[in-house]
A and B are shown apart, each in its own frame.
Chain A
Amino acid sequence: MVSPYPRLSRCAAAIGAALALLAAGCSGGGGASDDGRITLRFQSLAWQQDSVAANKQLVAEWNRTHPDVRVEYVQGSWDSVHDQLLTSFEGGEAPDIIHDASDDLADFAYGGDLAELGGLLPATLRDAIPGASWQTTTFGKGVYGVPFLQEPRMIIANRALLVKSGVRIPTADTPWTWEEFQQSAKKLTGNGTYGVAWPLKEPVSSTLNLSLSTGGQIFQRGADGKVTVRFDAADQAVPRAIHDMVDTDHSAARTTLGMGGSDTLPGFFGGKYAMVPLGFSYRQQIQQQAPKGFDWIVLPAPMGPDGNRAQGVSPQTLSVSEDCAHKKEAVRFIDFLLRTDNVVRLAKGDWMLPTATAALRDPALHTDRNGWSTGTALAPYLRSAPAQSVRGYPEWKDKVATPAFQEYYSGAIGLDELRHRLVTDGNRVLARYQR
């Protein structure tokens, strides 16, 4: 009997051949070198073109100048880094040098997956970075990462609309107060333009971080070391301002509440929104995508009472895996990567601010072009994000705070209900982690 599918048979034969090739060609990963040379895997989350290039150049430079310790560049992804690290740690296959954000480190640090770097860090590196930044990677009594890049939240504004409206244009030295910000947003609203677009798809971290300016802490650590949630007047000031802009003044576009930062840019470029609060690194997208001639300006975030300009940040960090057999060498590489000139290259590539004081003085970061100088001027006011070392924060954020803030900002619930949910439901969640 002749097969009705002769071509299928040939196809199967070809696939069989491919399988044989696969079996021959793709056996397991690379092994250790025979000459005793140390190899370290560095997983970087750099993703912007210039940043990836800078990281790869620095790794190549290290490998050229340090023949005894070879560093292998491995590309990771922000989108999935937590899950990927979690399984890697469980399976004992984690990269030696780990790039992450400080707010992702707590569980790994407390879980014993990350090396305590306190005794390994050279004094020069320790001294280069201010204490407020080290706080973001200090869990318990140990330091579990080196904070090296940080990103304040700024207000990116359409300068032409600002000038036309006659509002005072704030500078890094003289930011708006929250009241002035609300009044300016009101003045800028009209003729199809909203004063501000709040992209609050993820409302919790922006709210908490900005609330430091009004003295809001939300998380209070008691004498017994246990953390509880509070939502007092100082904590309520920023959420109330945002809520009023959306629901009372209508100076903020309600539709943007469910958006991510990038989603608001078309409306911003089209003159639909006069201002958008965004992370500092968004400037790169704006510079790339803004229509020719679009005149934009970077403004500092509003300040609180008594000129308080504090803002919470979760810097990017470099850590070493506890399983790494060559921790000293790994820290030597981190030290190399974060030398002043190098960290400036990384900061420019990512459009972020370095944490190191000397690097912040680099002239390239003090130009008015693309708002660099405004951001650099804010660096001394950046603090550890309030949620930084709170165990159970991710669950509180996802199950309690995110829906509660979303409903409050959209006007579905009032301040009392928001308070009840954040505090009562929230403390129930945190208590489970602190028994």
Chain B
Amino acid sequence: MPKLSNMSYKNQRILIIFLFSLVPVALLLTFSYLPVFKMFQYSFTSWDGFSKKMEYVGFENYKTIFTRPEYFAVFKVSLYYFFATFVQMGLALYFATILSFNVRLKNWFKGILFFPTLLNGVAIGFIFLFFFKPEGTLNTILDLLGLGAWQQKWLLNPNLINISLAFASVWRYMGMNFIIFLGAISSIGSDIYEASEIDGANRWHQFRHIIIPSIKRILQLNLILAVSGAIGVFEIPYVMTGGSNGSGTFVIQTVDVAFKYSKLGLASAMAVVLLGIVVLVTILQRVLIKEEK
């Protein structure tokens, strides 16, 4: 092998650009772009994932998704998680704001609020299974507070199950939003606060006119992530309920359709629809952000 240092820098440059991008690009094509292409292809077939030949069925799979209510119902479940994201971001913004000013035991509070985000998703599923059990933590606490009448079968009542699951999801991801907001707020120079205080601004004014405008982009980014996050919910409901009792999400359904019922064509069409929604929301968001500027 010729020594690199004997080559001219021009040739070295070509070689190193080629070599350094070879593996990443190969992985990118194989695991990001090829699947998208294949997914579109499968979505027009009735392939089961095993047989040698794929039968082309046109838009049959798409028709199934949009006409059969059992396939479309999962989007309603996503709405619970979507609304929960607003609660989650509101809480995160509140805690990030007060913890970016002087507070006693600041680092302790920061650590405790952030820690749940680092936990294993399966562990969180179990923790909340335990929390929502009929004889579990939540009902015991309610009893202790004299609110025994509010006790519920949190995961058995079809009206409450998705709210309970979305609550677990808020618990899990709040810390993530919190730490991002905290980072963004801490990048605001302290002189701006001082100047505003001289002008007689109180905390609310500072929040409204300094903090919110400076973290606007991150708020918007989090909103985009909220949509794809709400549709991509998998672990918590899968571990806690297996998707039963009306708590099945889009991903649970796709996994079931593809791997349990071997309807790969249909599952691919579902994935295409999902991708379409996410892309649409992203474009919409981009356009809206641009218009504001």
> Are A and B part of the same complex?
no
- Residues on A close to B: CB < 8 A? none
